[in-house]
Amino acid sequence: MNIRRLASIGVVVVAGGWIPCCAFAQTPVPDVDRVMDYIDDLYRSQSSYSRMRMTVVRERGTRELEMESWSRGDDEALIVIRSPAREAGAATLRTEEGLWNYAPRADRLIRIPSGLLSESWMGSHFTNDDLMRETSYLDDYDATLTTEELDGVIYLKATLIPKPDAPVVYTELVFFVTTDDWVPVRSEYYDEGELVRAWAFDDIRTISGKKIPLRMTVLPVDEPEERTVIEYLELELDVPVEGQLFTRQGLRRAARG
């Protein structure tokens, strides 16, 4: 596996002044905005390139996709499917103007409205917003940070509630991160108080001085036998990425491989 640094498409979590903790006096609780800011930057940089494998396990069978991804800044990102052959060239593009899906056979670029951010991406348990991050955890949520024991370990627990009129789907998000390095280990998504799905983060490695999970698994609550796993095969940050890539013409060139 060739991994230099980890890039971001879509992962969530939390955020730094220090405040004493009531429940666990020995575990200081950092300011939540700082932690959220840190986690956002953990999976992205000024630019990025990555190769990933996504395994989708559903009741009707298992499928595997490999894909490439590029990003630049906070607003530009592109994911292109490379295999299997029948889906190669399909792509999702994010720019400052919005989010689009590209169908290579029809050579069509179709805009994804904000109301469809929660829709499945490529038949997986990930959503459009999970992978392309149209929403911001810092801007679109009010967050609080406490500590809580999970499986015998004390973690920082961030609880996020959407701000009024925020373009989000879930009514509450909860994230667990390590107290020392702020490494995400689990996240939970709630709708009107009911747990809908959870993420598990593992294969934690030290990349460029940071401990980073290299595998993410989405676990739908209503289908406990199903899951979607994304594994990073090659990841680099702060690499040259041309702005032209995030245009219609650049997307078509990238899709052709």
pLDDT tens-digit map of 93-105: 999 888 999 999 9
Q: Give just the sign of the alpha carbon dihedral 101, 243, 7, 159.
A: negative
pLDDT tens-digit map of 123-175: 999 988 787 776 778 888 999 999 999 889 999 999 999 999 888 888 999 99
pLDDT tens-digit map of 174-200: 999 999 999 999 999 999 999 999 999
Q: What is the largest CA-CA distance in the chain?
A: 60
> Do 70 and 238 form a contact (C-beta atoms < 8 A)?
no
pTM score, whole prediction: 0.82
- 218 CB burial (10 A radius; 0-12, 13-18, 19+): buried
CA dist 117 and 254 (Å) reads: 23
Please say if the pLDDT value at position 13 is more than 60.
no
More confident residue, 45 or 121: 121
Q: Say what the pLDDT of residue 134 is.
A: 64
CA dist 13 and 160 (Å) reads: 9
Task: Determine how β-strand 18-19 pairs with β-strand 29-30.
Answer: antiparallel
Q: CATH topology for 2-256?
A: outer membrane lipoprotein receptor (LolB), chain A (2.50.20)
Which alpha helices (DSSP H) does the chain contain, by range?
Answer: 32-42, 128-132, 137-140, 248-256
- 39 CB burial (10 A radius; 0-12, 13-18, 19+): buried
pLDDT tens-digit map of 210-232: 788 999 999 999 999 999 999 99
DSSP code per residue over 204-254: EEEETTEEEEEEEEEEETT-TT-EEEEEEEEEEES----GGGGSHHHHHHH
